[in-house]
Amino acid sequence: MIRSLVLMLMLVVSQSVFAAQGETLKNDSKETWGWRTAMITSLMLTLATNPLGADEYNVTPMSSTDVAGIKLGFRWHQDEVLGELFGAQLTHYYLFAYNYWQSTIVDGQEGVVNGLEFIPVFRMNWSYNSLLSFVETSVGASVLSRNELNGRQFSTNFQFANSLAFGGYFTPQASWTLQLQHYSNNSIKLPNNGINFYNLNFAFRY
């Protein structure tokens, strides 16, 4: 029951983020908002059923210049501690996620990017029960449905996904992370404009 309530709250928040980001989204038709709501609701219900046997799921509002987004993902935490430094433990988990990006200045499907990503994430934990408990870094792979958005040329559908973050725990079952995430192809092909997002991750253990 609690999991369902949390997912519905995240749905409301994500819709509010899209609505607040620009005039283009405010002018979308009721039908467009209908299928957008149905899609996000279906994805969140998929998270609730845990079809991939993950340890944790995350719901992430994303924000960039003239772009609003949401990330929905599964996490698999590994048991081993990779190392210790001044009492802090280095651990890691694997993230598989779906991204939906919506331009706030381009109408219709021309302003939509869908993406899938797989990212190993490394976390340095100095606590497991505090509101501020860890920092994270990651480099992974992402595949985007488009190689251009708002005039930004990504040149390739394949993108590296890099991030830096810090966060902590609300409870042993729920955590938050404030994240800076960068997508680019590392100049595999030019032009390589890339894009930066500021993300607020909410993660919940199954």
* Spatial distance between the Cα atoms of 156 and 142, rounded to a whole number of angstroms: 11
- In tens, the pLDDT along 68-82 reads 999 999 999 999 999
Residue 143: which pLDDT band, with cuts at 50, 70 and 90? Answer: very high
| pTM for the predicted model, two decimal places | 0.83
Amino acid code (one letter) for 95? L
What does pLDDT average to over the chain? 88
* Spatial distance between the Cα atoms of 133 and 131, rounded to a whole number of angstroms: 6
User: What are the chain's domains?
Assistant: 2-205 (2.40.160.20)
What does the pLDDT read at residue 41? Answer: 82
What CA–CA distances, in Å, run from 103 to 32, 109, 114, 122, 125?
14, 9, 12, 30, 35
